[in-house]
Each structure stands twice: as C-alpha cells, then as structure tokens.
Amino acid sequence: MKKTQHSSPFIYKLLAGILVFLSMFAAAMVLGAADITVKDAWLALTSSASGDKISIIRDIRLPRGIAAIVVGAALAVSGAIMQGMTRNPLADPGLLGLTAGANAALAITIAFIPSANYFVTMVACFIGAAIGAILVFGVSAMKKGGFSPLRIVLAGAAISAFLYAVAEGVGLYFQISKDVSMWTAGGMIGTTWGQLNVIIPFIVIGILISFFLSRQLTILSLNEEVAIGLGQKITQIKAVLFVVIIILAGASVALVGNMAFIGLMIPHIVRVLVGTDYRFILPMSAIAGATFMLFADTLGRTIHSPYETPVVAIVSILGLPFFLIIVRKGGKAFT
Amino acid sequence: MVRLFTDDLSIGYGERLIVNNLSVTIPDQKITTIIGSNGCGKSTLLKAITRIISHKSGSVLLDGKDISKENTKILAKKMAILPQSPESAPGLTVGELVSYGRFPYQNGFGKLSKKDYEVIDWALEVTGTSDYKFRPVDALSGGQRQRVWIAMALAQETDIIFLDEPTTYLDMAHQLEVLELLQKLNYEQQRTIIMVLHDLNQAARFADYIIALKDGEMVKAGSCEEVIVPQVLRQVFQIDAVIGKDPRTNKPMCITYNLLKGEKQHEKNISTLYAHASSDY
C-alpha cells in the first residue's frame, strides 16, 4: 500500500495476468488422461489437421477449457460486482442464493419441460437466480439494519438450503435426480460446442457491460450518499448491475452447475494486486477467475486420472479456508 | 440573491413525518449551521436538500429550479455533500479518493484530464493534505481523513458544500482545524457552506446564519446573536442555559446549562442515579 503499489501501471499487471492465463490454457490442453503432446495441441488449435488426439482436443478438451474460462470469468466478475454494490466482503453468487435459485429452476425445467432446449434452460436459470437473490435480500430487509454482511450470508445459507431442497424434492418426485445431479455436479464434463454457442454470448455481453459500468461501480462502492452527491443515478446503475449479476450467475449454473467460492475468492485476491478501483478489479477478476477455473478443472482431470475428481470439490477445498479467513477478519479489511 | 431555499418541505419515512412544512432560506456565500436535538430532523433536512432522500411534499429550489426535476449530474456540479463519517475502501489512496470528486465532469471510462489533475492537486493543497497523496485513506487519523473528504468535495468544484456533522469523532483540536478550514474556504473563495453541528459554541463561533429545529419545525433562524439566546435554547433543547460572550471572538457562548425543571422523567433518572451512587460508596 506504499507509494510503490500504484507505481507499476495496471497495464503491466494485466499483461502478466494474461500471460499466466495463456500458460494455464496451454497446460489445460496438453494435460489429461490421454497422452497428448504440445505439438498435437498446437495443430488442433491452429490447423485443420485431423486425428484421434486432435479430435480429443477439439471436441473434448477445448470446449471444456472454454467452459472453464467463461464460467470462471463470469463468476469472478459477478462476485466482484456484488461485493462492490453491497459493500459486503462476503458477497458471492453461491453464498447469496443465486446459484441455488438457478439450480432449483434447472430441476423444475428438467421436470416440467423435458424437451427444453439449451436456451430455455438458461433463461430458466436467469429467473431462478433472480428469485434466489430477491428472496435473500427480501429476508434480510425484513429486519431493520438487516443488510449487515453476516446477516445477509446467513439469510443466503438458509434460502440456499431451502432452494436446494426444492431441487432435490423435484428431482425425487419426478425421478429425475440423476439428470439434475449430472448437470449440477458435473462441472465442465461433457460440455459441447452447442451449449457454448448459446451461453457464451450472454456471458461476454454481461462482462462487457460490467466493464463499461466499472467506474460507476467504484463510486457506488465508496458510499451510497457519496455516489448520489457525485451525481450518479444509483437506482438505474444498481438495476443494470443486478441484471448483469443474474445473467453471469445464471449462465454459469446453466453451463456447469453449482460453483461457490470463486466469486468470493478471486476479487479479494485481485484487490491485493490492483487496488480498489473496479476499472482494474473487474478485468483482472475476469482473467484470474478464468485462470483459476482452468487450473481447478485440469487438476480435477489429472490428480486421479483416468477418473474425474469433481471440480466443485476442488474449488471448495481451495475456497473454504479463504472464506474462513475473510469471516475472521470480519470484513473489517473491506469497508 | 438567494440561490437555495426550501418551500413547504415535508420529509418522512413511511407514515412518520420527520420534517413538517419547512421553509428555510440558505443565504448565499455564507456559513449556515443547522442545530437541534437528536432526532429533530436536521440530518434529514440536509439529506433532502441534497437529494439523498426524497421528500414527501413541497420543494427544494436551487437557482430557481426544483432539485427533484433537475439532472443529478448538473446538481453535482453545483453542490457537494460530505456525509456523516463516511468510510472508504481499504487501500484507497488519498489521491484516488479525491480524484472521484471529478466524477461529475467525466464521461465514459473517466480518464482524468489535465484540468482534473490540476483541480485535484489544488484541493489537496488547500486542505493541507498534499503530503498524504499516496497514502491509504484508512491509515490516516480522523482529522486528516476528514480533511481528505473535504478535499474530495472541493475537487467537485461546487459553490455550495454540505457537511453532516463534520466534527464527529474528532478531538477538540481537530474539530477546530476542520471548522477553520471551512471558514477559510468561505472567506477566500466565497463558498456557501451548510453544516449540521452538535456543539452550540462552535455553531455560534463559525456560522453567519443558524437554523434551530425542533421536531422537524423551525424554532428560529438568524444570526448567532438572535438564535443562541436562552429562550430559543429552552425551546429547542429543553435546557436552561447561561449565555455569555466568548472573550476572544465576542460571539455568544453557552457557559453552563441545566436541564429544565419540572420534567418528571429527568428527575426520576437523576434520583435513581443518586441512589446508585450512594449504594456504591
């Protein structure tokens, strides 16, 4: 936090981040159950050559890697936005009911519209995420002063438990538990290009909108009264940011299912690197989130290969200690 | 010329009215202080005038225009607000915080222009915070921090500055430091300053115009000689005050005061206090 902290311009940090990200991406393509050389990976990505190993990359590893990238970026950015908007250091789509809401919506969609295509499923996830978030903030708002960080997290835990129960109940009753859990616990397994084509535009647009509003988010994260005094239309800005969060979290669930902690963890690490300005936090969170998710997924594929270790387990094992550290600090380091 | 006044302003949360049909005029290029007991609506009034909260009826007019209909960014170039004890994100440097004062003048991604940098440096200079420019705000003392927030309000380059209890949580020396800074800004740059203060003697010493509120209604408004008088304080704070003269500034000052007699609740409190005290010894 000394003078030197901001002396190395953001652009260098961003480039370093991109470099780490690209290395991770290369590793994710090469490493795995099947023996693949760097040359195969290169050919698969850059040429039209064909072959067994090349199709493993093109049809399995590449879509899976891209899924990890977009989901990691989406969750990290939505977590950063939530933390900035609510000035709550514990904000995360997984902790505040959005993921659980999208998950319940997913189960209901599978039960009632078995023929639903990918787009319909995703929209259902958006709606579910919005309902989850509204329930959590609604429960918190019932009591005066209820928006304290820990109270919101408690409300989030209660609502999430309820919504997961709804998903389970629907799964059991309609005997689709297996389908639902395949989806929600499966991580990036079996991601197809078809799914990616539907979901990626939403995530990319959501992230771009957030970049455009990053300066507004910084002002909002200071203090609401200060934001109004500086001439910000806070209601409009918050509404747009809320929609962005819903889209990012909903699309992530539609693609990979439940994934907590990334949205919590990544922005906090990024703040240490780039400071408190969301013009820097958001792009850096996107890169760091993508890199982390690639890392977690690659680890899941390789530590016990040829068997898969669920990526959600890896993310949670890495994320939980982090959560505890932030709770211990009581969010003091944040506001 | 009067630029800012309220007309029959009523403010409330839900059903409860906090401020009732209040018409006050804020003299231009002067220091105005709002005083009153806890919960009398002084901060609420400040927030309504600065559009932080919306009002129920009546209007706030600035330069002949109703602020609830005016573009918020245009207002941000006319008036700046320093909320009560604001906090900032950890690690945010003084220079960065003050630079957000330029927000109303920026578009798009908000790259700071040469003019912006000049204004920021000037605001740091005037408030005596240039030395901390690269230090994190949360590492400063309370008085330094308050001056940094004032610098941010200054960077907004507004003629009118509102402050909600700018001296809260500061020790006596730092309180004076902040008030003298505001006085200097008023003298040297003719900024209109409106603030909520708790300390009557500070209000008397620094304000050109004092507005005394009681239960959301105005009891008295005028110069300190008109407002800091026993009758008004009796009504506003339910106190029996002895008013003398500050030997240095010649302003009225409250030398000592008692709670008004005849209020059963107070007497009861005092007698239980004595009961406790005697049982202790």
Between residues 240 and 269 of chain B, which touch chain A (CB distance below 8 Å)? Answer: none
Query: Residue B93: which of A6, A214, A333 has the nearest Cβ?
Result: A6
List chain B domain ranges: 4-78+158-280, 90-156
Residue A288 — pLDDT band, cuts 50, 70, 90? very high
Is A235 within 8 Å of chain B by CB?
A: no
Residue A316 — pLDDT band, cuts 50, 70, 90? confident
Other beta carbons within 10 angstroms of residue B269's beta carbon come to 12
How high is the pLDDT of residue B271? 58
| A125-163 residue pLDDT tens | 999 999 999 998 888 877 766 667 778 888 888 999 999
Average pLDDT of A221-236? 89
Task: Report whether A109 contacts A116 (CB < 8 A).
Answer: yes
Residue A3 — pLDDT band, cuts 50, 70, 90? very low
Q: Which of A99, A108, A170 is nearest to A131 (CA)?
A: A99
SS3 label, residue B211:
strand
Residue predicted with more confidence, B108 or A12: A12
Question: If you measure CA to CA, which chain A residue comes closest to B87?
Answer: A335
Percent of residues, chain B, with pLDDT higher than 70: 91
How high is the pLDDT of residue A81? 95
Residue predicted with more confidence, A278 or A38: A278
Cβ separation B100–A276 shorter than 8 A: no
Give me the long-range contacts of A167-171 (CB less than 8 A, separation at least 24). A167/A100, A167/A103, A167/A104, A167/A106, A167/A107, A167/A108, A168/A107, A170/A104, A170/A107, A170/A108, A170/A111, A171/A107, A171/A111
Average pLDDT of B268-277? 56
Residue A4 — pLDDT band, cuts 50, 70, 90? very low
Other beta carbons within 10 angstroms of residue B235's beta carbon come to 13
Tokens found for residue B266: 């107070």
Is the reported ipTM for this assembly greater than 0.90?
no
Average pLDDT of B64-87? 89
**Cβ neighbours of A275 in B, within 8 Å:** 91-93, 96
Is B13 within 8 Å of chain A by CB?
A: no
Residue predicted with more confidence, A80 or A307: A80
One-letter amino acid at B215 equals: D
Cβ separation A276–B89 shorter than 8 A: yes
Average pLDDT of B264-272? 56
Q: How many helices (H) and strands (E) does chain B have?
A: 10, 13
Say if residue B118's pLDDT is above 80.
Answer: yes
How high is the pLDDT of residue B273? 57
Average pLDDT of A105-122? 88
Find the largest Cα–Cα distance for chain A: 64
Cβ separation A230–B103 shorter than 8 A: yes
Task: Report whether B2 contacts B25 (CB < 8 A).
Answer: yes
Average pLDDT of B102-116? 84
Nearest-10 Cα torsion for B137, B138, B139, B143: 70
The Cβ-side half-sphere exposure at B33, using a 13 Å CA radius, reads 25
Any domain includes A58: no
When the pLDDT of each residue in chain B is averaged and rounded to a whole number, the result is 88
Q: Which of A287, A333, A281 is nearest to A80 (CA)?
A: A281
How high is the pLDDT of residue A5? 43
Say how far apart CA A100 and CA A163 lie, in whole Å: 6
How high is the pLDDT of residue B190? 92
Tokens found for residue B131: 């030395």
Is B75 within 8 Å of chain A by CB?
A: yes
Cβ separation B74–A231 shorter than 8 A: yes
Is B70 within 8 Å of chain A by CB?
A: no
**Cβ neighbours of B104 in A, within 8 Å:** 230-231
The size of the A-B interface in CB pairs under 8 A is 85
Is A144 within 8 Å of chain B by CB?
A: no
Q: Tell me the whole-structure pTM to 2 decimals.
A: 0.86
The Cβ-side half-sphere exposure at B219, using a 13 Å CA radius, reads 25
Q: Which of A164, A147, A134 is nearest to A260 (CA)?
A: A164
Q: Which of A119, A296, A282 is nearest to A196 (CA)?
A: A119
Is A328 exposed, middle or buried, given 0-12, 13-18 or 19+ CB atoms closer than 10 A? exposed
Residue predicted with more confidence, A151 or A25: A25
Average pLDDT of B231-248? 93
Average pLDDT of B188-196? 94
**Cβ neighbours of A276 in B, within 8 Å:** 89-92, 96
Distance from CA of B255 to the nearest CA of A (A): 36
Q: Which homologous superfamily does the CATH classification assign to the domain defined by B4-78+158-280?
A: P-loop containing nucleotide triphosphate hydrolases (3.40.50.300)
For residue B257, the 8-state DSSP code is E
Range of the domain at A106: 65-329
User: What values do phi and psi take at B217, rounded to 5?
Assistant: -125, 150
Average pLDDT of A199-209? 95
Residue B264 — pLDDT band, cuts 50, 70, 90? low
Say if residue A6's pLDDT is above 60.
Answer: no
| B132-154 residue pLDDT tens | 999 988 888 888 898 999 999 99
Testing the interface with B: which of A7, A220, A276, A326 to mutate, by most B Cβ within 10 A? A276
Distance from CA of A16 to the nearest CA of B (A): 22
Please count the structural domains in chain A.
Answer: 1
Task: Report whether A197 contacts A262 (CB < 8 A).
Answer: no
CA B266 to chain centre: 29
SS3 label, residue B259:
strand
Say if residue B165's pLDDT is above 60.
Answer: yes
Any domain includes A38: no
Other beta carbons within 10 angstroms of residue A24's beta carbon come to 20
Testing the interface with B: which of A1, A212, A270 to mutate, by most B Cβ within 10 A? A1
Q: Identify the CATH number of the domain in which residue A170 sits.
A: 1.10.3470.10
Average pLDDT of B106-132? 87
3-state secondary structure B61-97: EECCEECCCCCHHHHHCCEEEECCCCCCCCCCEHHHH
